Amino acid sequence: MKNRIVRAVAGSFVLISLILAVFVNIHFLWFTAFVGANLLQSSMTKWCLLEDILDKFGVRD
């Protein structure tokens, strides 16, 4: 369950930032890059802040 939430949030952030970049300001692509860098960091370190937050809220796998 937790992995699905993390993936859904990351995907939503990417899509929202792309939409904002097209319709509001191109600089929203920096947010897309940040999300991608965070996903890459998470894959290498096996640590994700959102997973820790979901743990605090009692969300289980």
- What is the pLDDT confidence band of residue 60, given thresholds at 50, 70 and 90? confident
In terms of Cβ atoms closer than 10 Å to its own Cβ (0-12, 13-18, 19+), residue 23 is exposed
Domain ranges of the chain: 2-56
More confidently predicted of 60 and 20: 20
Token digits of residue 52: 């820790």
Token digits of residue 54: 């979901």
**Which residues make Cβ contacts (< 8 Å) with residue 42, sequence separation at least 6?**
48
pTM value?
0.85
Residue linked to tokens 């979901």: 54
Q: Where are the alpha helices (DSSP H) in the chain?
A: 2-23, 29-45, 49-56
Decide if pLDDT at 10 tops 90.
yes
Predicted local distance difference test score (pLDDT) of residue 20: 98
Q: What is the pLDDT of residues 18-57, one digit of tens each?
A: 999 999 999 999 999 999 999 999 999 999 999 999 999 9
